[in-house]
Structure 1
Amino acid sequence: MSAPLTPYGELLDIFAALPVLIRDKRRREALTLRDAAGAAGISESAFARAEAGDDVISSTLVAVLKWLSATPTPKRKTKQ
């Protein structure tokens, strides 16, 4: 029987799952890295680092968490 998670343990679990959560939402909404990053308000490279599970600064982490909790991102209209 494992001990209940502390708030910090829960945070560690969330941080460990972030790359999968990010990738899943982006694929579910059929967004490019550029579109997802734009919706999150961060650069494409910062978004890619977060999705890859690389180290990111706290402002990138906050932006990604807000994006994850937001309603689906509207798709850009393509030119015809």
Structure 2
Amino acid sequence: MTITANGQVTIPQALRERYHLRPGTEVDFIALEDGLQIVPQKPHHHAPQVVASWLSKAQGCASTPLNTDQLMAMTRGEEW
């Protein structure tokens, strides 16, 4: 493999298929004494729980004297 002027290399298709490396896969480079190791980053499986927790805390915290029609008119720049 050759490194381009932009620091890029092409991972051979056989290796991409074997290790399930798809476009957009994030990888880490690990420095070893005699070279580098490239490993896919572990997916962040906790992200959905973080979002669900945030949403549960945010639910019902907005209050306004306006009704839905008034809010929609306001976002459209209409008189209400």
TM bucket (normalised to shorter chain) is under 0.3
More strand by share: 2
Q: Which of the pair has the greater relative contact order for Cα pairs under 8 Å at 6+ separation? A: 1
Structure number with higher helix proportion = 1
With normalisation by structure 1, the TM-score equals 0.26
TM norm structure 2: 0.26
| Greater C-alpha Rg | 2
